[in-house]
Amino acid sequence: MGVNPKSPNEFDEAHLSQLSIAVSMMENKGIYALLDCHQDVFSRFFCGEGLPDWAAKNLGNETLNRFPFPLPINFTREPDTGYPVLDDCLKHTFGQYYFTEGVVNGFKMLYTDGNGTLEAFATFWHKIASYFADQSSVLGYELINEPSFPALADVLQMGLVDQKYLAPMYKKLHEVIRKVDDKHLIFFEPCVFDVFQTGFTEGPGGKEYNNRQVFSYHDYCLDVTKQGDPQSDVLCELFDNALIYLRVKEARVKKFGGMMLTEFGGLSNSTKGVEELNRVTSIADDFLQSWTYWQFKKYADLTTSVRPATTESFYTDDGELELNKVQALSRSSAQAIA
């Protein structure tokens, strides 16, 4: 997180200014911005990205240096930062790092306010909401991307992490944001491992805020090669249909407010990749779901399962537009034409 890279209460105003400029540039093109607190596997110390170094260091040097325990993998570390060397990180799929001691303990520290981490996170969101409260082209705030579990046992019971840890944290963040911004949408996600059922009973603001809160979910077919090509149309179709149907059904029954497919894709420009794009967007259309593709271009993404990282973007390594993907995603809004 570039907003407060040095300490909890020391904000990088230049970083915020650059972010605001980017939002304004998009506004000039008629594009809304969703401000997503993006993380994958918690920290660069764990071959991921997300929380600033000062937060990860609160876990202690022993935990940082033991990574990726208990996985039987050896990493070389950069002498100046202590980070695992990126080439070593990329030899393995990033999803397995969620099961390491460091990442599990990191999420536990965040959810339970260990070392004041949750309070610092609330301060972060208060700053962001204060800064962008009057920016009309900001669609909303995504509280955290793909949160994970704080103990291995918790992932065995579907919905437990949402109910026990995420719901209280989201409520706290909602209250902090609403002190300075009562207008923008707040997006909230379930635990990344709660694939078909969450533990939420309502959105973080309660039913009163159903017109200003959005249940956010992702859809990635699990049967995809490192080149970004689905291996089985049958498996991907079954998975995509089941996930979107169950997400929509739960959100409607529990009355979460709005909902949006805020990530899918990470696919190649091939026929197989485009078929999956058409499959997901068609299912989303059937349920009148808005969606966003991951991702527009390569942004030094450490945590993508495809290689090269440009595979998932709209552009090749030499900057050529991948027209098959662009054409597949150039669709009318289902809600607008229904």
* pLDDT value at residue 229: 94
pLDDT-flagged residues of the chain (< 50): none
* pLDDT value at residue 305: 64
* pLDDT value at residue 50: 94
Instruction: Give yes or no: 237 in active site.
Output: no
* pLDDT value at residue 97: 96
* pLDDT value at residue 100: 97
* pLDDT value at residue 91: 87
Torsion, Cα of 309, 313, 318, 320 (10° steps): 160
The second-level CATH assignment, the architecture, of 1-209 is: Alpha-Beta Barrel (3.20)
Domain ranges for the chain, please list them: 1-209, 222-258+266-338
Q: How far apart are CA 157 and CA 141, in angstroms?
A: 28
For residue 112, give the nearest of 67, 154, 164, 73 by alpha carbon.
Answer: 164
Q: Both tokens of residue 317?
A: 């390594």
> What is the tens place of the pLDDT at every residue in 23-36?
999 999 999 999 99
Does this model's pTM top 0.85? My answer is yes
> What is the tens place of the pLDDT at every residue in 211-233?
999 999 999 998 999 889 999 99
* pLDDT value at residue 302: 79
Q: How far apart are CA 176 and CA 196, in angstroms?
A: 29
Q: What size, in residues, is the chain?
A: 338
Q: ω before 308 within 30° of 0 (cis)?
A: yes
- Contact between 180 and 129 under an 8 Å Cβ cutoff? The reply is yes
Catalytic-role residue among 49, 101, 142, 146: 146
Q: Both tokens of residue 334?
A: 């289902």
* pLDDT value at residue 19: 97
Burial 275-312 (b: 16+ CB within 10 A, else e): bbbebbbebbbebebebbbbbeebeebebbbbeebbbb
For residue 131, the cross-strand partners are: none
- Contact between 75 and 85 under an 8 Å Cβ cutoff? The reply is yes
For residue 184, give the nearest of 139, 215, 126 by alpha carbon.
Answer: 139
> For residue 25, is it left (φ>0), alpha (ψ between -120 and 50) or beta?
alpha
